[in-house]
């Protein structure tokens, strides 16, 4: 599963969200409308929820929007933000949409889920 967490008003978040929303893979998109301290608190809270209790590969960058993750079972791969995603977009798409990743993904996982962080 591909997970994106970020501020709905952030152009980096919007570009990544729009790119991955069209991919034939399960995508969870968590948009945060708030800015300032409350927005950052919500961003960090969502990142902690995604990562807690999981085996992490890499580390999240807590103040960056978007934060991009690939989850496979109990393992979460921390991709980083748009600057890490963009130059590797083709390889990441092949990984998450290709036959290798789908072998480990639960059946019926295609589709997108759009969510807005609660206020």
CATH number for the segment(s) 2-116: 3.40.30.10
CB 96 within 8 A of CB 25: yes
pLDDT tens column, 39-48: 999 999 999 9
pTM of the predicted model over 0.95: no
Residue 34: name the closest of 5, 16, 7, 52 by CA.
Answer: 7
pLDDT tens column, 54-104: 999 999 986 789 999 999 999 999 999 999 999 999 999 988 887 655 444
Q: What three-state secondary structure class fits 111?
A: coil
Neighbour tally for 52: CB within 10 Å: 9
């Amino acid at each position: 599963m591909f997970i994106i967490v970020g501020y709905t008003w952030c152009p980096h978040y919007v570009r990544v969200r729009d790119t991955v929303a069209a991919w034939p893979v399960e995508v969870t998109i968590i948009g945060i409308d708030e800015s300032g301290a409350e927005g950052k608190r919500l961003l960090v809270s969502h990142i902690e929820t995604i990562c807690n209790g999981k085996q992490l590969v890499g580390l999240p960058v807590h103040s960056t929007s978007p934060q991009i993750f690939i989850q496979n079972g109990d393992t979460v791969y921390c991709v980083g933000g748009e600057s890490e995603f963009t130059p590797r977009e083709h390889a990441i798409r092949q990984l998450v949409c290709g036959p290798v990743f789908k072998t480990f993904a639960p059946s019926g996982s295609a589709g997108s889920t759009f969510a807005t962080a609660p206020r």
